[in-house]
Copies of this chain bind each other. A is one copy, B any other.
Amino acid sequence: MLSNSTKYAIKGVLYLALNSDEDHKVLVRDIFEVVHVPEAYLAKLLQELSRQGVISSTRGAKGGFYLSEQDRKRSLMDIVKVIDGERRVNSCVMGIHNCDMDNPCVLHKLVGANKSKFIKVLENTTILDLVEGRQDIEEFFPL
């Protein structure tokens, strides 16, 4: 359902949520070991998230990646959409053509309810929610 890339991206963003802000930018070099994602690959993922406005970054000396206050209000789904694309998430669990939430196949009836909830969770949970103790982020590390 979620690609490894998306999982990596979420881990990276959670790290930023815990360790960065406008004044404390973070280098990929400092994240990748903690979250167990290859440095260059994590860089690529964060770059893409930044390009799409889901996270923030500045180049050059004293630069790095960080989360603005706005960024923290992003949902997990925002990350998923950037990395996996909307299609992957919304498409039929069974890969059946012409089948989606509105026009479900048998397997959807069986499984779709769960999937819908899963998607809603992703949509309704922000980075902030996760960090602000609504979920106990501590347990999340080491990732």
Contacts and interface: CB of A to CB of B under 8 A. Distances in A.
A136 B97 CA distance: 18
Q: State which size class the interface on A falls in.
A: 20 to 34
A118 interface: yes
A135 B109 contact: yes
B110 A114 contact: no
B105 A114 contact: no
B110 A125 contact: yes
How many copies of the polypeptide does the oligomer hold?
2
A38 to B, nearest CB: 13
Interface in A57-84: none
Interface string A1-45: 110100100110000000000000000000000001000000000
A43 to B, nearest CB: 19
A119 B103 CA distance: 23
26 contacts: A1-B1, A2-B93, A4-B95, A7-B95, A10-B94, A36-B97, A94-B143, A96-B143, A105-B139, A106-B130, A106-B135, A106-B136, A106-B137, A106-B139, A109-B135, A110-B121, A110-B130, A110-B135, A111-B118, A111-B121, A111-B122, A114-B114, A114-B115, A114-B117, A114-B118, A114-B121
